[in-house]
Amino acid sequence: MSQTAAVEAAETPLTPESWGKTGMWLFLSGDAMSFGTLLAGYAIMRANSTNWPNPSEALGISLTAFMTFLLICSSLSMVKALDAIKHGEKEKFKKFMLMTIGGGIIFVGLQAYEWNHLIHGANLGLTENPFGAPLFGTTFYMITGFHGLHVTGGVIYLTCVLIAAGKRGYTTDCFNLVENVGLYWHFVDLVWILVFTFLYLL
């Protein structure tokens, strides 16, 4: 691979986009299966439970509504960062990447705060809770924990891309690198949109 243009050349006619991008979509597809089966399992357990609590009352939704807002904002800053690197606007790129990373860090922090509150304040455990069905806690921690790990991984990935782009002088050559991390980050946002609806609101 000798070409390092703004957009990587296609390796084969089968993948007109870069291999990295195709690979990222394949990875996200598999990851969507993980979240999909977790949510499907949650739906089945809940549908068959006679004492499933009303989540919006047991968990509270004001904090998570703000966390949703935060992730939507960080998705916006992510596309702005991609737009900036495409046009070679270094300062703008750095600013928007740092905003995205900051959004992710605050999200994880708020999730830790929420878990702490639920574990110690509301006695919501993995196998028992005062609200009703024991599986309520199991599915809640499993799904939000799995998503939280994705956000943590995303923050690390974004930081690595920012450093790597810095080493390359924030040139338009970094477009693919940023596009791929952007896809991952938007996916995490997309999953949270579904998690927020199914776990907190419904």
Partner 1 sequence: MATESHDDHQVNYISIFWWLLALTILEVFAGMPETSLQYPQALKGFLLVGMALIKAALVALYFMHLRFDRKALSFIAFIPLVLCVYVVLMVMPDF
Count how many residues are written for the chain: 202
The answer to whether residues 158 and 100 touch, using CB atoms and an 8 Å cutoff, is yes
Binding mask 175-194 for partner 1 (x = CB under 8 A): ----x--xx--xx-xx--xx
Binding mask 15-44 for partner 1 (x = CB under 8 A): -xxx--xx--xx-xxx-xx--xx-xxx-xx
The answer to whether residues 144 and 97 touch, using CB atoms and an 8 Å cutoff, is no
Q: Is residue 99 within the footprint of partner 1 (CB under 8 A)?
A: no
- Write the DSSP assignment of 100-133 as a string of letters: HHHHHHHHHHHHHHHHHIIIIIS---SS--TTS-
Toward partner 1, which CB reaches closer, 44 or 126? 44
Nearest one of 58, 49, 184 to 131, comparing CA atoms: 58
Q: Which residues bind to partner 1, rule: CB under 8 A?
A: 5-7, 9-10, 16-18, 21-22, 25-26, 28-30, 32-33, 36-37, 39-41, 43-44, 47-48, 54, 56-57, 61, 65, 68-69, 72-73, 75-76, 78-80, 83, 86, 179, 182-183, 186-187, 189-190, 193-194, 196-198, 200-202
